[in-house]
Amino acid sequence: MRLCHSLALLPVASAFQLPFKVPFFNSPGQQPLRTPPIRVAIIGAGAAGTSATFWIAKAQERFGIDVEVDLYEKESYVGGRSTVVYPYGNTSLPAVELGASIFVKANKNLWRAVEEFNLTRRDFRDQSGMGIWDGEKLLFTASGGWWSWWDSAKALLRYGFHSPRRTQVFVDSMIQQFLSLYSPETPKWENMTHLSSSLGWTNLITQTTSEYLKSQGVSYKFISELVEASTRVNYGQNADGIHALEGACSLAPTGASSVEGGNFQIFENFLKHSTANVYLNTSVRSIISSSGQYVLDSDRGSETYQAVILAAPWHSTNIQLPTEISSKIPLQPYVHLHVTLFTTTLSSVPAQSFSLPASTKIPPMLLTTFEGARNGGKEPDFNSMSYHGPISDSEWVVKIFSLKRISEKWLSKMFDGKIGWVHRKEWDAYPVLPPTASFPELKLAPGFYYVNSFEPFISTMETETLASRNIVDMLLRDMFDAGICPTAPSSDTDKEDYVFGWDC
């Protein structure tokens, strides 16, 4: 357990009291009594829930607002889908991410958090090659990691100049618009349709990645191989099924990084820099509406709150909600992913395991495409297989993402029986993201907010922090008529590395 159960974290000092807060009086002539704090419950200690506690703490620093925050998490750890394991259970060995593994410099909240919290960033540029497997053939290989194919001469020879270039323009345009979410003029959105329209992304969310890129003159071969390899490794979905906005996100890993020791440390630090009371191993069973407030029943009993932030996918929580709230949350399917981690004394997968000539060099990162199966061939047994560095001079860690369980027999056959430690995890890793124009509401009832309304739009660690920032801003305006940042811009707005929410 990385945080103690029911840990009350150190408070952030209040700067000043809001001038419009009305105090209570017992009778004329008496001194004003302290107004009872607004009580807020946050459910889920992943990227969304922990960052929500942090954004509230930022507002407490700036405005002196009186908020008491309780965060509930049914698991024993902080981080949600960002968690690690250690080979052989040995914490002296490098931690291996089970879920959310990377973020990039365009992810300004995570990037800034790493710096502010004095964490160590680790990049992935040391990968020595990637390849694309269709279940029967090795279609393409290149030196460098899967983010470096843009600059690969081999890619230009196979796919021509225009398809990689047009795809790069598409991704760069998306990133440029995405960065506006950190500017002093960042949009505040009441619903996802409004945000999509303001960013000019309606065409992206209403078409598949394949459809959109074809309309931009990108070749089918490029889409069905390199683009699909990216959507499958990042979201477990094919390019002809996932919408184009999320497809663009899967193609934007330039400068991919993670935190040394595990990305979960970012989210633990969000909590440590908040005023929240944290209740791990604490399931919430039901929430009912009563006289304009919410009565939350959990393993620690019943508590009453003026506001609730649901920061977890509701259908996976088993929380009973009032019908008038639950009816506004459409069913959101998730990709059920199998993660298989293991160690091997083989420095690479033998070519014979793929029925390839012995002289074939199998890259340390092997991605896949569904194109062979579309044409009647064999479906790949996995979405991705990647070496994650040595743990000794003669043993390496390998990670496999797959939609079905990888058997011990398969592992032994592929790696010539040279398997050591094995760890398995299966979970609902990513939302299924087909084209859509419909999203859940952000505010499901007065004082009840749903962060995961953002997930059918974009699903990443970073966007969960953006979604929670917007919802906390909405909550503070509803409750105090004051958001995360002062209305007047600060003197920091001209800073090149300005990040709304941090620097306002």
C-alpha closest to that of 249 among 196, 174, 192: 174
Q: Does residue 214 sit within a domain?
A: yes
Q: What is the pLDDT along the chain (504 residues), one digit of tens a residue?
A: 454 433 433 333 332 222 223 332 333 444 434 468 899 999 999 999 999 999 999 999 999 899 999 999 999 999 998 899 999 999 999 999 988 788 888 999 999 999 999 999 988 654 578 899 999 999 999 886 655 555 567 788 899 989 999 999 999 999 999 999 999 989 899 899 989 999 999 999 999 999 999 999 999 999 999 999 999 999 999 999 999 999 999 998 767 888 999 999 999 999 999 999 999 999 999 999 999 999 999 999 999 999 999 999 999 999 999 999 999 999 999 999 999 999 999 999 999 999 999 999 999 999 999 999 999 999 999 999 999 889 999 999 999 999 999 999 999 999 999 999 999 999 999 999 999 988 999 999 999 999 999 999 999 999 999 999 999 999 999 999 888 988 766 666 667 789 999 998
Alpha helices in 41-129 (DSSP H): 47-63, 108-116
> Does residue 211 sit in the same domain as residue 326?
no
Q: Does residue 104 sit within a domain?
A: no
Residue 279: CA atoms inside 13 Å, Cβ hemisphere, count? 16
Q: Does residue 316 sit within a domain?
A: yes
Residue listed under structure tokens 């398997």 = 419
Q: Does residue 327 sit within a domain?
A: yes
Task: Determine the Cα–Cα distance for residues 410 and 417; give it in Å rounded to an integer.
Answer: 10
Task: Determine the Cα–Cα distance for residues 470 and 457; give it in Å rounded to an integer.
Answer: 14
Cβ contact 197:177 at 8 Å: no
What radius of gyration, in Å, describes the C-alpha atoms of the chain?
A: 24
User: How wide is the angle at C-alpha 263 spanned by C-alphas 262 and 266, nearest 5°?
Assistant: 120
Q: Does residue 89 sit within a domain?
A: no
| Integer CA distances (angstroms), 298 to 73, 151, 293, 326, in order | 10, 53, 16, 18
pLDDT at residue 147 in the model: 54
Task: Determine the Cα–Cα distance for residues 65 and 482; give it in Å rounded to an integer.
Answer: 9
Domain that holds residue 458: 7-82+260-333+435-494
> Does residue 217 sit in the same domain as residue 361?
no
> Does residue 306 sit in the same domain as residue 452?
yes
Phi, psi torsion values for 3, nearest 5 degrees: -130, 145
pLDDT at residue 101 in the model: 82
C-alpha closest to that of 251 among 179, 177, 168: 168
The DSSP symbol for 148 reads G
> Does residue 348 sit in the same domain as residue 218?
no
Pick from 228, 254, 280: which residue ends a domain?
254
Domain count, the chain: 3
Cβ contact 187:198 at 8 Å: yes
pLDDT at residue 103 in the model: 86
> Does residue 326 sit in the same domain as residue 449?
yes
pLDDT at residue 232 in the model: 97
SS3 173: helix
> Does residue 340 sit in the same domain as residue 303?
no
Cβ contact 61:15 at 8 Å: yes
Cβ contact 69:53 at 8 Å: yes
Pick from 254, 283, 315: which residue ends a domain?
254
Task: Determine the Cα–Cα distance for residues 429 and 333; give it in Å rounded to an integer.
Answer: 11
